[in-house]
Amino acid sequence: TTPNLLDIEGLEVRFHGERTVHAINGLDLTLKPGEVMTILGESGSGKSVTLKALLKLLPEKRTAMSGAMRVDGIDVMALTGRALSDYRGKTVSMIFQEPALALDPVYTIGDQIAEAVIRHERVSKREAMDRALDMLKRVRIPSPESRLKNYPHEMSGGMRQRAMIALALACKPDLLLADEPTTALDATVQIQVLLLLRELQKEFGMGIIFVTHDIGVAVEISDRIAVMYAGNIVEEGSVAEIIKDPRHPYTKGLLEANLHDADPSETLTSIPGSPPPLDVKPDHCSFAPRCAYAEARCFKALPPVLKPGPGRRVACILEEGRAPVMTPAREPE
């Protein structure tokens, strides 16, 4: 068996402020090299926090993290200083919904990509510029030679998105994190960018974790889907398994809502009720208040995690007796 590209075990993330927010509650996630995984969930479910934790981008003073994260065998929790800046961009890099978070308005696209290459590799400015040009070609930006000299504001939204992808991939990371990168684009451009990411994934062989609230996007881009709710994964499987045979009531609700709802941004909110407040650590099934199948015990203990098949898991009592147990139901601590 090939070693995993990514191993997250028991990740917990809490934010301290006036109130404590339990953003991630014991998350386990693995990714094989070259796999594309979508984390699907509504806003506030912890998708973006998971990505930021992987790059150690969370505000250090307010954040408490525990558990283990390894990428390519690197212990992410232990990274600091030079090792951390080597890791960012070279081992793992990230693209965002808003390219302004990644692109600097005062430098040309060419300079920014070349600068990133020089930071990670011993190459001359000339070689780094050649790489920048090559990257703009690979992301299929028209007239790449002249685009090298463009500032971000001189490009359209779709072009900026491509330039951001070129920057993120310039140092050939093993893992690309994508936080709703196509959400702000119109439908046609969105599909073009998703297809481009798929092609680049094959070309570079990198793993991708894509986070979105849009099931259509998840189906388009990924091999596997992990459904996230209240800071943990409630179900995981291949795209076909999740779409054709959803097992968790939350996943079923999402798909049901998606069928009846034309506006994808509405889909995740059309399940009656709302996600739980995250100011206490969950000690029972977080979905219980919204779940049509809830029993008394769902309000008393965390549900068991069951494994209906390879690479498949469901955190729900309804799966009991149908599948082997990965983690038994846990009484509150």
Residues that bind ligand SF4 (CB under 6 A): 248-249, 285, 287-288, 291, 293-294, 298, 303, 316-318
Q: Which of 183, 207, 205 is nearest to 194 (CA)?
A: 183
Nearer to Mg ion, 111 or 180 (CB): 180
Choice between 254 and 298, CB closer to ligand SF4:
298
Q: In this structure, what DSSP letter does residue 98 have? A: S
Q: What is the amino acid identity at position 280?
A: V
Q: Which does 293 bind (CB under 5 to 8 A by kind): Mg ion, ligand SF4, none?
A: ligand SF4
Tell the residue number behind the tokens 């339990």, with chain if given.
22
Helix (H, G, I), strand (E, B) or coil at 125: helix
User: Would you call 1 exposed, middle or buried from its count of C-beta atoms within 10 A (0-12, 13-18, 19+)?
Assistant: exposed
CA 298 to mean position of chain CA atoms: 28
Residue 172 burial class via C-beta count within 10 angstroms: exposed 0-12, middle 13-18, buried 19 and up: middle
Q: Report in angstroms how near the CB of residue 235 gets to ligand SF4 at its nearest.
A: 10
Pairing of strands 305-309, 224-229: unpaired
Nearer to Mg ion, 48 or 201 (CB): 48
Least distance to ligand SF4, CB of residue 269, Å: 18
Is the CB of 262 or the CB of 296 nearer to ligand SF4?
296
Q: Tell the smallest beta-carbon distance from residue 22 to ligand SF4 (Å).
A: 17
How far apart are alpha carbons 58 and 273 in whole angstroms? 29
**Shortest distance, position 50 Cβ to ligand SF4, whole Å:** 21
Considering the complex, what minimum distance in angstroms separates the CB of residue 240 from ligand SF4?
Answer: 22
Which residue, 249 or 276, has its beta carbon nearer to ligand SF4?
Answer: 249
Q: Is 97 in the site for Mg ion (CB under 5 A)?
A: no
Q: Tell me which of Mg ion, ligand SF4, none is bound by residue 208, counting a contact when its beta carbon lies within the kind-specific cut-off of 5 to 8 angstroms.
A: none
CB of 318 to ligand SF4, least distance (A): 5
Provide the residue type at 292 as one letter.
Answer: A
Which residue blocks in the chain are alpha helix, DSSP H? 47-54, 81-90, 109-120, 125-138, 144-147, 157-169, 187-204, 215-221, 239-244, 249-260, 264-267
Per 3-state DSSP, the chain is made up of helix, strand and coil in percentages (nearest 5) of 40, 25, 40
Binding partner of residue 285 among ligand SF4, Mg ion, none, CB cut-off 5 to 8 Å per kind:
ligand SF4
Residue 267 or 286: the one with the smaller Cβ distance to ligand SF4 is 286
Smallest distance, Å, CB 316 to Mg ion?
Answer: 25
Which entry of ligand SF4, Mg ion, none binds 162, CB below 5 to 8 A by partner kind?
A: none
What Å distances lie between residue 49 and 15, 38, 53, 314, CA to CA?
Answer: 11, 14, 6, 22
Minimum CB distance to Mg ion, residue 180 (Å): 6
Q: Which of residues 16-55 bind Mg ion (CB under 5 A)?
A: 48
CA dihedral 286, 290, 296, 301 (to 10 degrees): -10
Q: How many residues bind Mg ion (CB under 5 A)?
A: 1
CB closer to ligand SF4, 49 vs 230: 230
Contacts (Cβ under 8 Å, ≥6 apart) of 96:
102, 164, 179, 180, 181
The length of the chain is 333
When CB distances are held under 5 to 8 angstroms depending on the partner's kind, the choice from ligand SF4, Mg ion, none that residue 291 binds is: ligand SF4
Q: Which does 29 bind (CB under 5 to 8 A by kind): Mg ion, ligand SF4, none?
A: none
- State the residue number with the nearest CB to Mg ion: 48
Give the residue with the Cβ less far from ligand SF4, 132 or 285: 285
Binding residues for Mg ion (CB under 5 A): 48
